[in-house]
Each structure stands twice: as structure tokens, then as C-alpha cells.
Structure 1
Amino acid sequence: MCRQSATVCLIKSPSRRQRELADMNLRLSALPDPRARRGRRHVLASVLLTAACAVLAGARSYAAIGQWARHAPHDTLTGLGFHPRGSFGVRVPVSASTVRRVLAGVCPGGLADLLGQGPDGTESVAVDGKTARGSRTDTTAAAHLLSAVTAAGRTVSQLRVPDKTNEITAFIALLEPFDLTGTVVTADALHTQREHAKWLVEAKNAHYLLVVKGNQPKLHAAIRTLPWKEMTARRYDRERGRRETRSVRTLTITGLGRTSPISSKR
């Protein structure tokens, strides 16, 4: 069973060796094909790569993906892994209906892991969730995705948050397969949970930077009582369409079983 909490499939989470394969066709070969064996014309990896290339080229619908595939040059179809057919060795592209069936049935968790960038060597990993635009239908709620992104802006993986729950339930499942030793994991106030912090430090040997707001009233009140005014503030300006002046104050708290640095950012 895949670790994707919203969909049950036939595989477990990909290994580190599978995620690091340079050949994308070899990576995607680890995914189970949702189609019946009888009647397959194209391998799974070719269908998925066609959809990815078409979307990168601007396709925004299944029909547009099929149109991009029909007009793709012969050498492009060769690179995508389509097999030659007939006496003339013509490579026939995948149809829009096949792309629709494959993308609707393929394992989303395994696909995200295999196409993601491993966090090895990065200083930090940011965890955040967003609702996928246009994913809502008359019968299903919009898909809410929780993603992990490296400091360089490369997506590590993402999971769909199960309906009627929130991002908290998917936090550990998202990061579980990856080696986070020495990595700083950042997240918003929703993930400022005792269980998350303990799991990152004890199970993953990682560091964390979590925001404290009113959702943790006791912790928030305790932090506000600290002697922030006695600390020297480091100020810096940033311009992103407007001028901002921010300050950072840092405190080191002892006597809690281990040294705990706490910072205040305004």
C-alpha cells in the first residue's frame, strides 16, 4: 500500500535509489499501471511523460495534451519512449482519452515521490499546503495538497490531504520517507505541534523553525513574557514592491532538558 493517504494503490513508497535514477523512464517504471494488461498500446512512462511535456508547453486540458502529442515530431516521440509500429517504424502518440484514464488511475503519492527532488544536501525544507485551483467538481471537494520544497525551490514531494481532515494529519506522512538529518524544516503556525517537533528531532535528527501564534495560547503567552526588549535587534530592509523594515531578536533558553534558541521576527 502506498503512503498516499487519500488513494490506495499497489506499491510502497519508492526507495532512495529509485528516486535518484537519472533516467526518468526507469523512475516511472516503478509505478503500477492502472490499466488492464490486455489492450495496452503504450507503456505507462511514455503516457506520463507526454502529459508532463504538454503541460510544460502550455496545455491546460486533456484535449490540449492530446493535440500536443499528435503534433509532436518523430524524434520527440522517440525520446518519450513510444515504440515503432508497422513496417515503416511509425511511432503513434497517445490519445487524449488514454491520458485521461491513466492520470485518473495512477498512484498520486508514488508519482510525486518519483518525480521529486531528494532533500539530501539542502539546508532547509519548507512545508506548506495549497488548494489546487480548478480541482473542485460538483461531487468532490477541491484537492488540498501538502508539499515539501527545498531551499532551492525544488519540490521534494506532495500529498493530498484527506477530505474532512487538515494538514496536521499529513505532515509526518509527507516527510517520513526522506533523510532529514541536519536539515531545518520550516512550517507555518498550523504545524506548531508538540508531536511534530518531537518527531523531527528524535526520529529524523532534524531541526525545526515553527511559527507560534494564537493557536497555541499557552506557548504564545509564555513567549511573550520573555525579555525581548533587552535583546539587541538586527534590522534589515527588503523591497518587494514595497519597502519593509524587519527586526529579529534571538534568545537562548536553558533549563528545559536541552538548549532551545527562540527567535522573534517582526
Structure 2
Amino acid sequence: MTADALHTHRDHARWLVEAKRAYYLLVVKRNQPTLHNTLRSLPWKEVTARRYDREAGHGRRETRSVRTLTVTSLGLDFPHVAQAAKMHRHRTDLQTGKITRQTVHAITDLAARAASPQAIGQLARAQWGIEAVHHVRDITFGEDASKIRTGHGPANMATLRSFAISTCAQPATTASPPAYARPPIRPSPVRWT
């Protein structure tokens, strides 16, 4: 289970591991100041478990690095934590030349043998994909500003928004099936003998 900093709480981590028997990757920001400062002060320059990815697309060039560090013996005050991760993103807008950098820290209960820096990076990117959907829901549909608060109204509106997003994300259908589609199965006529 991946989650943004809003869900990075000790009770959530305990519940996930002990009640649901799940694994977690949780982003740590300043809403957990002690944990955030502890993660920032870890010896990241000495870490040998690293992964670098470079790609270009969507009008930008991006380099991502992920460093992971086993922290079980460091006494971090967080339930079941096994590894910490430092993820750094360096983006260059190819049109304007603007450069942005972002560093994010995360924790997981996955041990190093179960989650390499590459796996941690993939999990984090999957979470960022979810955040993009939330961005669409809020910016396009104004979900956070909605005044509907009673009865089944909020759930009904969320369902309609989800339907609209999923409909827009699918390619338009055509009247006839594509050339590579299998022909429909027609029953053979019954012959009586």
C-alpha cells in the first residue's frame, strides 16, 4: 500500500501490518517533523543501494534517483519500519529551460531483499500516478470545493466523477469492430437426420 504524507501515521502503519497483513510505502513530510528530520539526517552520501532512471517525454527531461537504506537498527520511532528511501527528481522543461528539483523521503516495512531501490522507485511512481487522478478530480471537477455534504450526495457525485474520468480515458468506439477483432461466433444450423 502506498500513501502520501497525509496517511503517514503510526496507527495507520500498525493497522496495515498487524490487522491487514499488508506492506506499506509511506511518504514522510513535515507533518511528522521528528521523523522527517531524522530521515534527512541519515548518511545518504554513503549509501550504495541506488537506482538512476532518465527519460524524456511530455516536453521535459527527467532524472530520478532512489537511494535506500536499511534502518532496522537505527531506532526510528515508527512501527515495523525496515527501510528508508530518498528519492530525488531533477526536471528540465525542454521549451523554457526551467529546472526544478524535488527530494522526497519515504519509509517502508519491506526489507532490502524484498524491495530494491528500483522496486521502491516503481512503487513511488505508481503513487504519483494516483495523485495525478486526484489532481484531475479537484481541478476539473472542483471536488474539494463541493458543497454537497449530506446523505448519499457525496458518494453519488464521486461515482459520477469517476465515471466521467474513466469514460474520457477510454478510446472512442467505432460502429464496426477493428480488423484484428475476432469474428462473432455464429451457431451452426441444426441438422436433423
Bin of the TM-score, shorter chain as denominator length: 0.3 to 0.5
| Structure possessing the higher relative contact order (Cα contacts under 8 Å, 6 or more residues apart) | 2
TM-score normalized with structure 1 length: 0.29
